[in-house]
């Protein structure tokens, strides 16, 4: 066996692949920059958001569209709340606290399942990615487009989008949109409003809020950072207080019937607080291992941007800032052990990824842009999945999902669940396979 020849061929293959990725990145960036010059940055941002979602759909198609009715339990509960905000006969009792989309649905007349999905899931996630693109460009200046373009596409290939279009009635995108808007304005009163809306829609706004504050601060020492941030911290505390007041009133029946303690809260206490294991997992060892897998899967290779930011000496970024960043990130990640859908929840931390990126990129722009395109390439070719407690979820590339569905229509069998899974499944930590069988 000629090992040297094999190594040479491998090296040439990698070289050709690298050249292809760099040419593609350079050509597409030139097109986006020309478009921005002709049409303006705002229309370009919208196009980039739409393209990011289209790429995500191709790479990780939401198979639930094919296999499940759009009229799921969350859509049903949302429509019920839009007609009566104090309805309590819900399939998921925790949704009684999440009143933003029901109110918007009532006020805007979007009272059909498909309208709810288009407006508050698909359109909201396109806007979120568009505003992320705009926020990066504003932060990095006139050359920011060449970094914002691959970074926005990469965010689209993360759990920033995957959950928002996977299940009908999951209105994460509304809260994600509030976080994206908060990156574009440093005004405390606006942050308070966005935090109020975002948290009432989904409590996970709060785990990302520290990174919104850090996005806008200036200074090196802890004193300077606090003086720069205290107004926004106060705004967030005001919003949290308002949300707590509203939830307390809903719980105790100040407005309409009271809300019984949701069962999920009792399970969080039992599993996480007393059991010291991630929510809805069988054991500490397996549970924490699955937790770490889900944390990685949330952003997959985009975590490299965060790691590079923390480890790279950066002029103008103090050690104190990095300690605050790392402490907030670790705390936020650990907090997601209280829910079943860890990968989905960690996806709310996209402001941390953007914050790391805008500080890391200027240290070596040429290296950064090459690495961003390589990260995007890795995100395209890496499988997408997560494990919610012990319930696995898959996102397949569109051609594979089309083949899977064609096989299902022809045979009545799901090639993933009925053919492949029996050979690799483990009932010891996954939900038993029989759960997915039709009666």
Query: Is pLDDT larger for residue 166 or for residue 161?
Result: 161
Q: What pLDDT is stored for residue 5 in this prediction? A: 64
pLDDT tens, 6-65?
Answer: 666 767 777 777 777 888 888 888 899 998 999 999 999 999 999 999 999 999 998 877
* Residue 47 located in a structural domain: yes
* Residue 431 located in a structural domain: no
Q: What pLDDT is stored for residue 439 in this prediction? A: 56
Q: What pLDDT is stored for residue 438 in this prediction? A: 64
171 pLDDT band, cuts 50/70/90, is very high
Indicate whether 220 pLDDT > 80.
Answer: no
218 pLDDT band, cuts 50/70/90, is confident
3 pLDDT band, cuts 50/70/90, is low
Is 412 within 8 Å of 401 (Cβ atoms)? no
Q: How far apart are CA 119 and CA 128, in angstroms?
A: 12
Indicate whether 266 pLDDT > 70.
Answer: yes
Q: How far apart are CA 398 and CA 384, in angstroms?
A: 12
How large is the average pLDDT for residues 349-376? Answer: 96
Pick the closest to residue 213 from 194, 233, 197, 195 (CA basis).
Answer: 233
CA dihedral sign, ordered 288, 289, 292, 298: negative
pLDDT tens, 319-362?
Answer: 999 999 999 999 999 999 999 899 999 999 999 999 999 999 99
* Residue 68 located in a structural domain: yes
Q: What pLDDT is stored for residue 161 in this prediction? A: 94
For the chain, give the percent of residues with pLDDT over 70. 97
Is 251 within 8 Å of 258 (Cβ atoms)? yes
Is 145 within 8 Å of 196 (Cβ atoms)? no
141 pLDDT band, cuts 50/70/90, is confident
The dihedral region occupied by 389, where left means phi > 0, alpha psi between -120 and 50, and beta the remainder, is left
Which helix (H) or strand (E) segment is 18 a member of? helix 3-39
Q: Say what the pTM is.
A: 0.93
Average pLDDT, the chain: 90
* Residue 407 located in a structural domain: no
- The three-state secondary structure class of 396 is strand
* Residue 261 located in a structural domain: yes
List the domain range (segments joined by +) for residue 44: 12-395
- Cα diameter, the chain: 79
Domain count, the chain: 1
* Residue 7 located in a structural domain: no
For the chain, give the percent of residues with pLDDT over 90. 64
Indicate whether 67 pLDDT > 80.
Answer: no
Query: Is pLDDT larger for residue 26 or for residue 317?
Result: 317
Residue 326: exposure state from Cβ atoms within 10 A (0-12, 13-18, ≥19): middle
Indicate whether 66 pLDDT > 80.
Answer: no
pLDDT tens, 222-249?
Answer: 888 889 899 999 999 999 999 999 999 9
* Residue 427 located in a structural domain: no
* Residue 287 located in a structural domain: yes
How large is the average pLDDT for residues 391-415? Answer: 91
């Amino acid at each position: 066996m000629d090992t040297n020849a094999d190594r040479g061929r491998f090296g040439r293959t990698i070289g050709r692949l690298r050249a292809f990725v760099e040419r593609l990145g350079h050509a597409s960036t030139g097109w986006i920059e020309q478009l921005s010059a002709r049409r303006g940055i705002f229309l370009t941002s919208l196009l980039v958001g739409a393209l990011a979602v289209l790429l995500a759909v191709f790479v990780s198609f939401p198979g639930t569209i094919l296999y499940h009715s759009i009229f799921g339990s969350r859509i049903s509960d949302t429509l019920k709340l839009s007609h009566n905000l104090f309805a309590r006969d819900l399939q998921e009792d925790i949704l009684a606290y999440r009143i933003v989309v029901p109110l918007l649905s009532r006020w805007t007349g979007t009272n059909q399942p498909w309208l709810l999905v288009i407006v508050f899931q698909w359109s909201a996630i396109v806007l979120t990615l568009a505003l992320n693109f705009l926020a990066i460009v504003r932060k990095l200046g006139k050359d920011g487009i060449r970094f914002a373009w691959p970074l926005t596409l990469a965010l689209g290939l993360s759990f920033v989008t995957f959950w928002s279009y996977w299940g009908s009635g999951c209105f994460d995108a509304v809260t994600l949109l509030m976080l994206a808007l908060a990156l574009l304005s440093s005004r405390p009163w606006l942050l308070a409003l966005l935090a109020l809306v975002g948290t009432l829609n989904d409590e996970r706004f709060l785990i990302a809020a520290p990174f919104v504050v850090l996005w806008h601060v200036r200074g090196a020492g802890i004193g300077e950072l606090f003086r720069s941030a205290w107004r926004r911290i106060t705004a967030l505390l005001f919003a949290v207080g308002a949300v707590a007041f509203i939830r307390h009133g809903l719980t105790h029946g100040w407005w309409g019937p009271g809300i019984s303690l949701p069962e999920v809260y009792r399970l969080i206490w039992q599993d996480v607080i007393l059991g010291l294991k991630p929510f809805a997992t069988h054991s500490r060892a397996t549970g924490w291992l699955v937790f770490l897998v889900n944390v990685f899967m949330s952003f997959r290779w985009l975590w490299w941007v965060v790691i590079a930011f923390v480890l790279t000496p950066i002029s103008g970024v103090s050690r104190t800032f990095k300690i605050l960043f790392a402490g907030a990130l670790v705390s936020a990640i650990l907090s997601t052990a209280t829910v079943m859908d860890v990968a989905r929840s960690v996806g709310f931390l996209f402001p941390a990824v953007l914050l790391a990126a805008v500080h890391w990129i200027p240290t070596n722009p040429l290296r950064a842009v090459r690495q961003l395109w390589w990260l995007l390439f890795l995100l395209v070719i890496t499988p997408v999945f997560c494990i919610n407690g012990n319930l696995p979820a898959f996102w397949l590339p569109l051609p594979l999902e089309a083949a899977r569905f064609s096989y299902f229509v022809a045979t009545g069998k799901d090639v993933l669940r009925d053919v492949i899974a029996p050979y690799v499944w483990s009932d010891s930590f996954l939900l038993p396979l029989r759960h997915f069988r039709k009666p």
